[in-house]
């Protein structure tokens, strides 16, 4: 390239950036928020003095800092969904964190005189809950649902110079079945653009015809003008232009473009290829607006007796359900925390996510597009009939349609989304009125997005088989009720069943109970559940029972396990016990550390990697000579177990029971300290892999293992550092519970810690915590200045652990 051409190219880039900045700006309102808990009189007024309020960064969850308190949102209730008939006191159902009450947020931003002549949108991606929004002392709007995205056109309320935004949030008691969080927990943004512009969420991209040779990309764009011209250019993943279309033909303020893409890269979990559509709106040859939309080219089908197909390939959902909290940082959205969750799940072989039971964050969907996860986007946990006193039923008639419209409009371009859910275990499953509501909600989804089917997570299976509720849905989703799958498939006309919620097996990481046997609603004095993965609730089951259906029935199209990670609140089976404040359902614990069950799923789901996992640990002082069964979770069919070199025999998977089919189990092993070794065999009987675990000596030193050593210097990025204890020979000590202290120096800060213990009342944000099962996780957050960061962890009687990190621009 000549110097002159290089100069022209650079000038073009500069002018393009200037042009774009002139037509549209998006400003995240993240810093310098003032926050005050309580119902403050006149806090909406522009002149109100908030100088003594706490300064916070949004996204923000005011309740996660605790303290835990059994009196918070204490409920005396019978949980109908769990089959309870008598009311009992529930002390940890919503996490025992102080989310109930009212709070105010205030922020100031500047508007130029030029921007006063434009259109400005104020966008909230989530506000918990019942937000009332004021600008310069005047109320501009309100919303009800804490999980919904919503926006207001605030153009007429703005003034030149400084503007004051105030938001009042109110969380009522008895409004949730889990920890909902509190505050402006997702992003708040100002979008400034010309009055002649593309509507908010006005672009809708579909791929109605897909093959390996070519794809038809349809782009519908809603605009605020009737005399414009639209130019849409499609770029590949490297930013190279591959196709373009210009049109002046509008249909009721909407452009409709069809663009051909030759030899398309198809989006799938294995190959999550993303294109970009750059859409420019011109009026009288002047650029008025420009947006960029990521999308994927893919084809989805749901067919009787065949199930779900992606790009012509039958694909089963190997999915998990996820609540929206992120453990020790609560509900405040954080992309690094989400990415870590999805990375852990990807390694397990998971290919699908169900947002439970609410609308997903934009960040979660962006990551699922990038990393390759199919997505079931859910809307409500309640319709018109109540589950909890102050739940969504209060708003259903007024807001249900508006909330669905916003959900679909905001997220429909994500290729990861392959179905919608209009509800979960709603009491409306009973009766004619519920059938009408299910039909009404499904029609709204179809109207807003004709390309994706709709499901409901149904737990009252006998009722929905009789009433027609299940028959009218695009996809019949069954929550548990494995004994009714066969009958439901015969009664429903769709020709397939989705396990919309499965298993709900309970376990505590690193905790094992004896004797080892399968049980329902089993409880122990320490309020923990056994990690032998044989315990469930009265209404649920262990994983193997779902595996049989998934593997043997072509008409079962997949499952979404409850849950991928533990979450705050709903501490079944200990929801009447204190202290117990978070779930036991997770395949991973609240800290994101894998439980044994992780490897059971991995052995079946991850076909590209070897799995060979031994449980339990082998530190059982006092159990010498007692029966201590050994399980092995592996993708191999057989293995031989050795205790201190002595063979315990070969076990081979078989179909005698669901457990024998998916686990290798030596039930008569007697404990003696030393070495447990397993040797796995391939189908020809050849030894192909082996693994050992050993009895540890006295705890000696702390070992620190970060998930990432380099993070971004943006004040938000996180490194998750797993802290464990080993003996002098480096053998992990799985039972130690030392109290540790944490110190972060350099260009980073201590954010939180978590040990995965559902009974712990230690506050996450304080720089000290006990080990649980010999481990915990420390979260280190970057600052906005790049540089070195060091985490130091100390514990009495243990050699100090240190790790060096780096934050970069």
Tens of pLDDT along 530-544? 999 999 999 999 999
The answer to whether residues 426 and 353 belong to one domain is yes
For residues 739 and 768, the answer to whether their CB atoms sit within 8 Å is yes
**Domain end point (choices 175, 193, 211):** 193
Is residue 481 domain-shared with residue 416, that is, in the same domain? yes
Measured CA to CA, the distance from residue 806 to residue 555 in angstroms comes to: 50
* H-helix or E-strand spanning residue 522: none
Per residue in 156-207, pLDDT tens? Answer: 999 999 999 999 999 999 999 999 999 999 999 999 999 999 999 999 999 9
The H or E element that residue 179 is part of is none
Full-model pTM: 0.95
Residue 462 lies in a domain: yes
Looking at the fold, whether 563 and 435 belong to one and the same domain comes out as yes
pLDDT digit string (tens) for 42-73?
A: 999 999 999 999 999 999 999 999 999 999 98
Whether residue 531 lies inside any domain: the answer is: no
Same domain, 283 and 318: no
Q: How confident is the model at residue 548 (pLDDT cuts 50, 70, 90)?
A: very high
Mean pLDDT, residues 26-36: 98
In a domain, 3, yes or no: no
Q: Are 342 and 371 in contact (CB under 8 A)?
A: yes
In a domain, 589, yes or no: no
C-alpha 451 chain-centroid distance: 23
What is residue 281's predicted lDDT score, i.e. its pLDDT? 98
CATH number of the CATH domain containing 759: 2.60.40.10
Which of 501, 535, 559, 570 is catalytic? The answer is 501
Number of neighbouring beta carbons within 10 Å of residue 698 = 9
318 shares its domain with 422: yes
Average pLDDT over residues 696-723: 98
How, if at all, do strands 801-808 and 787-795 pair?
A: antiparallel
Question: Mean of the per-residue pLDDT values for the chain?
Answer: 95
Amino acid 84: pLDDT: 81
Please check whether residue 219 is in contact with residue 279, taking contact to mean a CB–CB distance below 8 angstroms: yes
Q: Which CA distances in Å does 93 have to 88, 575, 589, 749?
A: 12, 6, 17, 31
694-718 average pLDDT score: 98
In a domain, 604, yes or no: no
CA angle (617 as vertex; 613, 622 as ends), nearest 5: 155
pLDDT-derived band of residue 90, with 50, 70 and 90 as boundaries? confident
**Edge-to-edge, what's the strand order for the sheet holding 228-235?**
241-247, 228-235, 275-283, 286-295
Does one domain contain both 310 and 438?
yes
> Which of 125, 363, 425, 535 does the annotation list as catalytic?
425
166 and 266 in a single domain? The answer is no
Q: Is residue 85 part of a domain?
A: yes
Gyration radius of the chain over CA positions: 27
Boundary residue ending a domain (241, 265, 295):
295
**Domain boundary residue among 653, 674, 694?**
694
- CATH number of 96's domain: 2.60.120.260
279 assigned to some structural domain = yes
Q: Which of 328, 336, 339, 333 is nearest to 358 (CA)?
A: 333
Among candidates 3, 45, 44, which has minimal Cα distance to 131? 44
d(CA 166, CA 133): 6
Q: Which domain holds residue 770?
A: 701-808
Same domain, 358 and 452: yes
pLDDT at 8 (0 to 100)? 38
> Look-up: residue for tokens 């009189």?
41
Residue 726: inside a domain, yes or no?
A: yes
Cα first-last separation, the chain = 30
Q: Are residues 775 and 668 in the same domain?
A: no
The domain tally of the chain equals 5
Contact 183, 103 (CB under 8 A): yes
- 610 noted as active-site residue: no
Percent residues over pLDDT 70 in the chain: 97
Q: What is the pLDDT of residue 75?
A: 85
Report residue 342: phi and psi, to 5°: -70, -35
| Residue 557 token pair | 């199209």
pLDDT at 797 over 50: yes
- 501 given a catalytic annotation: yes
């Amino acid at each position: 390239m000549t110097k002159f051409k290089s100069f022209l190219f650079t000038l073009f880039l500069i002018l393009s950036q200037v042009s774009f900045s002139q037509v549209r700006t998006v400003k995240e309102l993240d810093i310098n928020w003032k926050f005050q808990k309580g119902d403050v009189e006149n806090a909406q007024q522009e002149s109100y003095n908030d100088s003594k309020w706490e300064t916070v960064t949004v996204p923000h969850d005011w309740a996660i800092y605790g303290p835990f308190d059994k009196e918070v949102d204490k409920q005396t209730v019978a949980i109908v969904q769990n089959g309870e008939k008598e009311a009992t006191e529930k002390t940890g159902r919503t996490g025992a964190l102080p989310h109930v009450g009212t709070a105010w947020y205030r922020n100031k931003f500047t508007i130029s005189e030029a921007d006063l002549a434009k259109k400005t949108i104020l966008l909230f991606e989530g506000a918990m809950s019942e937000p009332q929004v004021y600008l310069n002392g005047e109320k501009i709007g309100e919303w009800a649902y804490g999980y919904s995205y919503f926006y207001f056109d605030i153009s007429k309320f703005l003034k030149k110079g400084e503007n004051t935004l105030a938001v009042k949030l109110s969380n009522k008691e008895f409004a949730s079945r889990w920890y909902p969080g509190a505050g402006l927990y997702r992003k708040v943004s100002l979008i400034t653009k010309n009055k002649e512009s593309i509507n908010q969420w006005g672009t809708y991209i579909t791929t109605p015809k897909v093959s390996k040779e070519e794809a038809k990309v349809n782009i519908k764009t809603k605009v605020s003008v009737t005399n414009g011209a639209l130019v849409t250019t499609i770029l590949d993943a490297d930013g190279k232009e591959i196709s373009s279309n210009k049109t002046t033909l509008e249909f009721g303020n909407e452009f409709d473009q069809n663009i051909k893409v030759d030899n398309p890269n198809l989006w799938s979990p294995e190959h999550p290829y993303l294109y970009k559509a750059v859409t420019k709106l011109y009026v009288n040859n002047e650029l008025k607006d420009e947006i960029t939309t990521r999308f994927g080219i893919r084809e989805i089908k749901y067919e009787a007796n065949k199930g779900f197909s992606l790009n012509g390939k039958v694909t089963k959902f190997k999915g998990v359900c996820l609540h929206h909290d992120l453990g020790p940082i609560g509900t405040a959205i954080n992309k690094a925390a989400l990415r870590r969750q999805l990375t852990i799940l990807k390694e397990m072989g998971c290919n699908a996510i169900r947002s439970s039971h609410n609308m997903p964050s934009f960040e979660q969907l962006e990551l699922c597009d990038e990393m390759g996860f199919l997505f079931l986007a859910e809307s409500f946990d309640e319709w018109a009939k109540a589950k909890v006193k102050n739940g969504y039923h209060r708003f259903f008639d007024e807001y249900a349609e508006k909330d669905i419209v916003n959900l679909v409009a905001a997220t429909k371009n994500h290729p990861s989304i392959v179905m919608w859910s209009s509800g979960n275990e709603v009491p409306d499953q009973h009766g004619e009125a519920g059938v009408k509501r299910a039909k009404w909600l499904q029609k709204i989804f179809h109207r807003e997005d004709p390309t994706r089917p709709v499901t409901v997570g149904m737990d009252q299976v006998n009722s929905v088989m009789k009433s027609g509720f299940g028959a009218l849905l695009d996809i019949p989703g069954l929550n548990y009720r494995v004994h009714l799958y066969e009958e439901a498939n015969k009664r429903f006309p769709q020709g397939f069943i989705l396990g919309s919620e499965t298993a709900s097996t309970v376990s505590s990481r690193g905790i094992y109970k004896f004797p080892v046997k399968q049980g329902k609603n089993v409880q122990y004095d320490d309020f923990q559940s056994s990690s032998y993965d044989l315990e469930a609730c009265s209404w649920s089951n262990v994983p193997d029972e779902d595996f049989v259906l998934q593997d043997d029935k072509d008409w079962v199209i997949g499952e979404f396990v409850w849950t991928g990670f533990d979450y705050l609140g709903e501490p079944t089976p200990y929801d009447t016990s204190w202290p117990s404040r978070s779930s036991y359902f997770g395949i991973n614990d609240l800290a994101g550390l894998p439980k044994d069950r992780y490897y059971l799923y991995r052995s079946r789901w991850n076909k590209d990697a070897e799995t060979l996992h031994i449980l339990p640990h082998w530190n059982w002082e006092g159990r010498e000579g007692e029966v201590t069964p050994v399980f092995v979770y592996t993708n191999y069919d057989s293995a031989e177990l050795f205790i201190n070199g002595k063979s315990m025999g070969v076990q081979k998977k078989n179909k005698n029971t669901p457990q024998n089919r998916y686990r290798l189990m030596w039930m008569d092993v007697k404990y003696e300290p030393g070495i447990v070794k397993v040797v796995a065999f391939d189908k020809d009987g050849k030894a192909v892999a082996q693994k050992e675990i050993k009895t540890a000596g006295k705890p000696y030193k702390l070992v620190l293992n970060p998930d990432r050593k380099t993070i971004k210097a943006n004040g938000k990025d996180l490194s998750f550092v797993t802290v464990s204890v080993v003996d002098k020979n480096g053998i992990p000590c799985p039972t130690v519970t030392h109290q540790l202290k944490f110190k972060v120096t350099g260009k980073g800060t201590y954010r939180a810690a978590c040990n995965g213990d559902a009974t712990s009342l230690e506050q996450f944000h304080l720089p000290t915590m006990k080990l649980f099962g010999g481990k915990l996780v420390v979260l280190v957050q970057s600052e906005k200045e790049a540089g070195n960061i060091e985490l130091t962890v100390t514990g009495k009687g243990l050699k100090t652990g240190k790790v060096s990190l780096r934050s970069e621009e």
